[in-house]
């Protein structure tokens, strides 16, 4: 082979090699199959993962230790699901708002089965938009305005039942918020199955954070049995209301009046889901408020003075509280905000990657859960100086964007947050103007139930002011 032939052969081989390498590079850049690493972290034990650690430790310690060890994005495995946790405001906004289409709302399958797969929490798109519109219609300011006096009656009756008693704050607040939830869902109608509804719901609640093992005798099995009974009770209420043929302005009326039509199963799933969302979270917030007010006498004094001023203004007028009265409570509202931040009742929320997603140089595989850690964002000193200090005055100035998300963010933020705020303000008005209370026993620990709570549900003793 002469020099020219050899040169041409080498040139041809070089061209083929270049073409091959170019095609490989092009495939690498366009196919989306780059070998990205998973985020750092631990998946824990097989199947169980780190579920027990999450629900047996102080959540501040659990999440903070994870972030300190692995950084602001990490992997774990809880409630039978591989998960990626994120803890920066920017990442949370990306998942919940900017790139929300890549991360659908979801819960572990066990929780979806408990609350109902047709519930608003687990959907996006047209069905979710329709449900959200119906919920907001029932919880808009005009609707809330019409039930403030009824909420007040429940608050007065609730507090009166505690007089001179030693109570577990969380348990009693759950009764209060359960009754308010029923009022907002079913209106003033007398619900014949109220106690049975409550009994089944309490059983369901006990198994909410249990391991999803559906065998006789397990908490999960008992919860699923109670869930079936709840569906039957709601079906009976639906049947009775259809026979009455009245125009109701409550949430059930909003669901039933939808022109496009929801099935009874869809209505039942959403009613049970709203009870869960409206009851336990608000009861947890109220429990923490009682604790923080007891621990901060100057804050309690400021709240009491604000509420007593409203009492003085109403002398000689209609005594019942109005929606307008609840807007004259800025100090009390800041206490609620600071409680939501410090206690971070909703430590995180669940999303699911609908496809393989590259995120900050890591791979989030399709089907993995993504958990924005609201608790870490609320407790970051970069976002809130001295984050462990209870200081309502910090909310005299609006917090930095995406650093305060007690009700979530984006299209899936809680549509009932105004109702929750009103029922808290109404109860605090009567609690601070008429009663004094003392916390019984040491209260330094935090437990899950399923939300973050003071140890033992905050036992207190309540008495009338003299």
Residues 6+ apart with CB under 8 A from 318: none
Please write the tens of the pLDDT for every residue from 53-82: 777 777 778 888 888 899 889 999 987 789
Length of the chain counted residue by residue: 466
In a domain, 7, yes or no: no
For residues 99 and 86, is the Cβ–Cβ distance under 8 A? no
| Residue 325 three-state SS | helix
In a domain, 4, yes or no: no
Percent of the chain with pLDDT over 70: 89
Please write the tens of the pLDDT for every residue from 340-384: 999 998 888 888 999 999 988 999 999 999 999 999 999 999 999
Measure the CA–CA gap between 6 and 247, rounded to whole angstroms. Answer: 92
Angle between helices 194-206 and 264-295 (to 10 degrees): 70
Please write the tens of the pLDDT for every residue from 407-424: 877 777 777 788 999 999
**Residue range(s) defining the domain that contains residue 380:** 29-464
**Least confidently predicted of 107-111, 202-206, 212-216, 218-222:** 107-111
Measure the CA–CA gap between 268 and 397, rounded to whole angstroms. Answer: 41
In a domain, 295, yes or no: yes
Whole-Å CA distances, 359 to 29, 81, 362, 363, 419: 16, 19, 5, 6, 36
In a domain, 19, yes or no: no
Please write the tens of the pLDDT for every residue from 249-275: 788 888 888 666 888 899 999 888 888
What is the count of structural domains for the chain?
Answer: 1
In a domain, 409, yes or no: yes
pLDDT band for 212, please (50, 70, 90 cuts). confident
pLDDT band for 12, please (50, 70, 90 cuts). very low
* Helix (H) / strand (E) containing 366: none
The CATH number of residue 114's host domain is: 1.10.630.10
Known binder of ligand: residue 414? yes
What pLDDT score was predicted for residue 450? Answer: 63
In a domain, 48, yes or no: yes
Whether the CA torsion 272, 349, 415, 423 is positive or negative: it is: positive
What pLDDT score was predicted for residue 9? Answer: 39
In a domain, 13, yes or no: no
In a domain, 185, yes or no: yes
What pLDDT score was predicted for residue 124? Answer: 76
């Amino acid at each position: 082979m002469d020099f020219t032939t050899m040169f041409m052969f080498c040139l041809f081989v070089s061209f083929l090699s270049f073409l091959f390498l170019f095609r490989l590079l092009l495939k690498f850049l366009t196919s989306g199959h780059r070998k990205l690493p998973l985020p750092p972290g631990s998946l824990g034990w097989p199947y169980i993962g780190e579920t027990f650690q999450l629900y047996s430790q102080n959540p501040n310690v659990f999440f903070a230790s994870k972030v300190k060890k692995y950084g602001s994005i990490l992997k774990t495995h809880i409630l039978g699901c591989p998960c990626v946790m994120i803890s920066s405001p920017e990442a949370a906004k990306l998942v919940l708002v900017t790139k929300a289409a890549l991360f659908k709302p979801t819960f572990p399958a066990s929780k979806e089965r408990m609350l109902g797969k047709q519930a608003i929490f687990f959907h996006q798109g047209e069905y979710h938009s329709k449900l959200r519109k119906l919920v907001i219609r029932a919880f808009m300011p005009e609707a809330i305005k019409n039930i403030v006096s009824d909420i007040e009656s429940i608050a007065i009756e609730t507090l009166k039942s505690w007089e001179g008693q030693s109570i577990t704050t969380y348990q009693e607040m759950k009764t209060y918020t359960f009754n308010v939830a029923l009022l907002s869902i079913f209106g003033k109608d007398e619900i014949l199955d109220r106690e049975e509804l409550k009994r089944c719901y309490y059983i369901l609640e006990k198994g909410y954070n249990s391991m999803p093992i559906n065998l006789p005798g397990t908490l999960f099995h008992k919860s699923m049995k109670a869930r079936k009974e709840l569906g039957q009770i709601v079906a009976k209420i639906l049947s009775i209301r259809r026979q009455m043929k009245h125009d109701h302005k409550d949430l059930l009326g909003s669901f039933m009046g939808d022109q496009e039509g929801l099935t009874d199963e869809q209505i039942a799933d959403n009613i049970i889901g709203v009870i869960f969302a409206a009851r336990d979270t608000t009861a947890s917030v109220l429990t923490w408020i009682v604790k923080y007010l007891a621990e901060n006498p100057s804050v309690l004094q400021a709240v009491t003075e604000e509420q007593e001023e409203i009492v003085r203004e109403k002398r000689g007028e209609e005594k019942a509280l109005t929606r307008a009265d609840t807007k004259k409570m800025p100090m009390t509202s800041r206490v609620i905000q600071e409680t939501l931040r410090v206690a971070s009742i909703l430590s995180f929320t669940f999303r699911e990657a609908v496809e393989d997603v590259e995120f900050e140089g890591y791979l989030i595989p399709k089907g993995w859960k993504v958990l924005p850690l609201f608790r870490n964002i609320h407790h970051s000193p970069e976002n809130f100086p001295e984050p462990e200090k209870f200081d309502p005055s910090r909310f005299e100035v609006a917090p930095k964007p995406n650093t305060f998300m007690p009700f979530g963010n984006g299209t899936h933020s809680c549509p009932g947050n105004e109702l929750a705020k009103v029922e808290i303000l109404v109860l605090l008005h009567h609690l601070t103007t008429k009663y004094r209370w003392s916390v019984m026993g040491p209260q330094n620990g935090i437990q899950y139930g399923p939300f973050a709570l003071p140890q033992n549900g905050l036992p207190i003793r309540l008495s009338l002011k003299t």
